[in-house]
Structure 1
């Protein structure tokens, strides 16, 4: 599944590159307003921080929410305590787009993560041109050398690379790259099942200077509390927010 998701995103980016050349997207990226300081926004604090996601669908859950106005949803997130917003831009399975990223960027002033299957510099430049401050790099999805190249390219644009891991080996690799913003995703990429305890099994590996993000299996305040007690600085939440009263849930989550 992961391989096909990457293949689709790369193909879609290549089609966009036929309309907006690499040179043009680079000029747009360099002319964009400077990235926000995401490390500061997500720095460990008394209460857990929330990276709230604009998410219509997923391969594991199918359609979850219509979200006709992603900017309005993002505004609800920002006004109710989200420290940053993740915007799905993958078109095929998640039904997102760069238009969503544009809309959200124009409405809110918190750091934005472009969440997609990023595999090349063009996609990173696109993200910067459309207002993203953070780039998702999935350790399981890229050869180690290539991931490090893209991590460095992201940093050269003054953006924050967010390395997502799913195992002890991946977590150790992410740490060794010097990444400061690392996630542990509870979802098994093969079975789509979740293990809420995976974060707690891996968190001791992370040095103190790394901001630790718990991903997936966040459905309620009890789940957020579980992750916080295990040592999470941040939780990434999508499905729970788009299928419930986002303002109410964020008030509960950010109090933990």
Structure 2
């Protein structure tokens, strides 16, 4: 069993437990449930830098990245830096995140927030909406075509943007459907954790222009972004590069200034 299989097995158990603790009706009564969500896809289209900055304390591949930062400060710093949106890891066991991180980031900022999570159930999408997210992530590697369709359509019914993540051509081909806003290519092999920008380059021609193209993982330099832009990428997810510093917001600001 690889790390992704372990995470998903744990996620099904976690979701079952959460459903027993907080009923759907309670999520739907959240004060954030009725708010109009800003679109990350629209922000990326309008941007000439396309940075999505991440809040991530740790990961299975890198262990601890940064445990000492306040989510509120990170969100405010990123927004001030001019990033298009912020990705918030909410998985606890493997990434050290929580839904509290999402709600704190929401209270501190107005830009689009992505709930970065291993989504396997509509309940998690209701949670995303109730805790202030504007975008959800779906991972093609762990979902069937019908699951991608039903989950993405459910997210759209709640006024949420959908970013669908793929790792190879097979995942991409089963995933292309109108209920997605953005197609993200993860440059990291989730089974080996090896990283290569060639994955984004190879898959770029297979992604229809109707979708905003996002490149994820392994983007730590201006050169990497400049290398990928000619392939039609409008979004670039950067986490570790900013999070491993003492001030992610300031790091993002310096990065964007240099990129411009």
How many residues are treated as equivalent by the alignment?
255
> What CA distance in whole angstroms lies between the structure 2 residues aligned with 1:224 and 1:109?
25
Q: 1:89·1:116 contact (CA, 8 Å) conserved in 2? A: yes
Q: 2:145·2:175 contact (CA, 8 Å) conserved in 1? A: no
Q: Which residue of 2 aligns with 1:146?
A: 147
Q: CA deviation at 1:30?
A: 7.7
Structure 1 segment 55-74 matched on structure 2, within 5 A: 55-74=56-75
Which 4+ residue blocks in structure 1 deviate beyond 6 angstroms?
none
**So what's the TM-score if we normalise by structure 1?**
0.93
Deviation string, structure 1 residues 88-140 (Cα, Å, up to 9, x no partner)? 00000100000000100000000000001101011100010000010100001
After superposition, the CA RMSD in angstroms is 1.8
**So what's the TM-score if we normalise by structure 2?**
0.92
> What CA distance in whole angstroms lies between the structure 2 residues aligned with 1:178 and 1:159?
10
Deviation string, structure 1 residues 10-61 (Cα, Å, up to 9, x no partner)? 322322222211232233388442222222212154x221110000011111
Q: Which residue of 2 aligns with 1:104?
A: 105
* Partner SS, residue 52 of structure 2: strand
Q: CA deviation at 1:149?
A: 0.6
Structure 1 segment 45-124 matched on structure 2, within 5 A: 45=47, 47-124=48-125
> What CA distance in whole angstroms lies between the structure 2 residues aligned with 1:132 and 1:138?
17
* Partner SS, residue 97 of structure 2: coil
> What CA distance in whole angstroms lies between the structure 1 residues aligned with 2:15 and 2:34?
19
Structure 1 segment 1-256 matched on structure 2, within 5 A: 1-28=3-30, 31-45=33-47, 47-177=48-178, 179-244=180-245, 245-246=247-248, 247-253=250-256, 255-256=259-260
> What CA distance in whole angstroms lies between the structure 2 residues aligned with 1:242 and 1:190?
23
Give 5+ residue unaligned stretches, structure 1: none
Q: 1:25·1:126 contact (CA, 8 Å) conserved in 2? A: yes
> What CA distance in whole angstroms lies between the structure 1 residues aligned with 2:230 and 2:149?
31
Q: Which moved more, 1:87-96 or 1:193-202?
A: 193-202
Give 5+ residue unaligned stretches, structure 2: none
> What CA distance in whole angstroms lies between the structure 2 residues aligned with 1:208 and 1:216?
22
